[in-house]
Amino acid sequence: MKDLLTLIGSLPPLAQVPVVIVLFLAVAALAILLIEVAPRPGRKYTVIRAVACVAIPLAVLLLLGSVIWAAAVAAVLGGVFFVLDYRSKKGSGYLFALVGFLAPALVLLAVGLVYPTIQTFIDAFLSSRGRFVGFDNFVWIFSQPQNLVVIRNTIIWVLVVPAISTAAGLAYAVFIDRARGEKVFKALVFMPMAISFVGASIIFRFIYAYRPEGESQYGLLNQIVVWLGLPPVNWLQHAPLNSFLLMVVLIWVQTGFAMVILSAALKGVPTEQLEAAELDGTNAWQRFWNVQVPGIRGSLIVVLTTISIASLKVFDIVRTMGTAYPDTGVIANEMVTLLQKFETGRSSAFAVILFLLVLPIVIYNARQIQKQREIR
């Protein structure tokens, strides 16, 4: 493997790209071939599986140069094929296909999610030097006034942003539904979703930018204030106004997401129900509240919970805009700040608190999805 990477690295830059693409396609084609061939019965496919049991360990031997790894791969692969051929009905081997599709995701979840979660919980009870300190990190969090402000801000984010984003997206979806130019208007509202949080934060930094009175204002908001004959305001220096101004960035981005999901859900509400309600003499608001909203309840829950989790994890916006301003901190940003100071225990304690805040939302969302499935 090392020799192969060295060989690729020695090629000209323009030649490296097609070589890497070809190798990736070859590995992907081999994986698809095995997953496609393994379930099929018949002597021809049995021969192909036997060849795979020899060719794949040989490839491992050539790439890694290790007889032990090649023997291990051969034993595992041969054993899996043998068991599947022996136990599956008519040699179908559906279990192999299932494992083939799920194994990469399970490995990534174990390495990228399960292990870090367990390690974070352990670190939350240790000092930065790895000494067990019990609940001292949590006591420190809840005994420091600035940490309480961080937790308060996070809770305000999760209360304000999902409610306004969902309400604005739903209102826009209702008013623009089946209107002339619907696709154009939806594209304009959805466009901020294509911008990263850092990019959106930089845009709003220019909007909130401040220069002392008498100087030329390049911030859009302060320029409007000056045109009205008022003195410019350093918006992000005033707490708690600055936190709500930061929330506007996430609301601006997430409204497009809410609009798209809820617009699709509204189109799924049967027109017969709306027509029946209209014949009963209901007005537009009554039809919306009593027919459309119950019809899209599942989508509303998904949108609210998704934006709530995004609000709890918000980091980029505060990091880009709010670190120099008072009382704008949130848990995710405080975690990173403490980690950069090598305060791993306190950072992990904040991570555990964030996990506990997210957990009820995830559980509620999962239960609602299960109820929807039972109804169907």
Both tokens assigned to 213 = 């009175």
pLDDT digits (tens, 9 = 90+) for 190-238: 888 888 888 899 999 889 988 888 788 888 898 998 999 889 988 888 8
**Mean of pLDDT values over 293-317:** 89
Q: Among residues of the chain, what percentage have pLDDT more than 90? A: 22
Sign of CA dihedral 27, 33, 34, 36: positive
- What is the Cα–Cα distance from 357 to 310, expressed in whole angstroms? 12
| Mean pLDDT score of the chain | 83
- CA separation, residue 3 to residues 59, 98, 162, 238 (Å): 14, 34, 52, 59
Neighbours of 147 (CB within 10 A): 19
**pLDDT surpasses 70 at 44:** yes
Both tokens assigned to 38 = 């393994």
Q: Degrees (nearest 5) of the Cα angle 322, 323, 326?
A: 75
Domains in the chain: ranges and CATH = 2-123 (no CATH), 136-207+238-375 (1.10.3720.10)
pLDDT digits (tens, 9 = 90+) for 331-368: 998 998 898 888 999 999 999 999 888 888 888 887 87
Tell me the three state secondary structure of residue 240: coil
* Contact present, 73 and 67 (Cβ < 8 Å): no
Q: How many CA atoms lie within 13 A of 120 on its CB side?
A: 18
- Tokens 């019990």, residue located: 134
Cis preceding-peptide flag for 240 (omega within 30 of 0): yes
**Residue bearing the bigger pLDDT, 100 or 79:** 79
Name the pLDDT band for 91 (thresholds 50, 70, 90).
very low
Q: How far apart are the first and last CA of the chain?
A: 51
Contacts of residue 320, defined as CB under 8 A and 6 or more positions apart, other chains included, come to 197, 198, 201, 202, 205
